[in-house]
Amino acid sequence: MPGGRGGSWADRLTESPFGDRAVEHGLATRQDLARLAAGWHRRAVAGDAWFCVPHGEILCTK
């Protein structure tokens, strides 16, 4: 299995409660999860791929 974050995201889809919940709630099938995991694996080995999870905080004052 490819390393890096692609492998860990693929594992979340197919080998963790995250994927189980998606199937239980009718959001995905096991086949859907396997297809998405394969995409994460392809991305993990692509030389020009990158992944970003932006996050921030909004502070409101009055």
In this structure, how many other beta carbons lie within 10 angstroms of the beta carbon of residue 6?
21
53 assigned to some structural domain: no
Q: Is the whole model's pTM more than 0.85, yes or no?
A: no
Q: Give counts: helices (H), strands (E), the chain.
A: 3, 0
The average confidence (pLDDT) of the chain is 88
13 vs 47, more confident: 13
Terminal-residue alpha carbon distance, the chain? 51
32 assigned to some structural domain: yes
23 assigned to some structural domain: yes
**Interval 14-30 mean pLDDT:** 96
pLDDT (tens digit per residue) in 44-55: 888 888 888 889
57 assigned to some structural domain: no
The number of domains in the chain is 1
> Which residue do the tokens 């709630």 mark?
25
pLDDT (tens digit per residue) in 29-44: 999 999 999 999 998 8
62 assigned to some structural domain: no
Q: Which domain holds residue 14?
A: 4-45
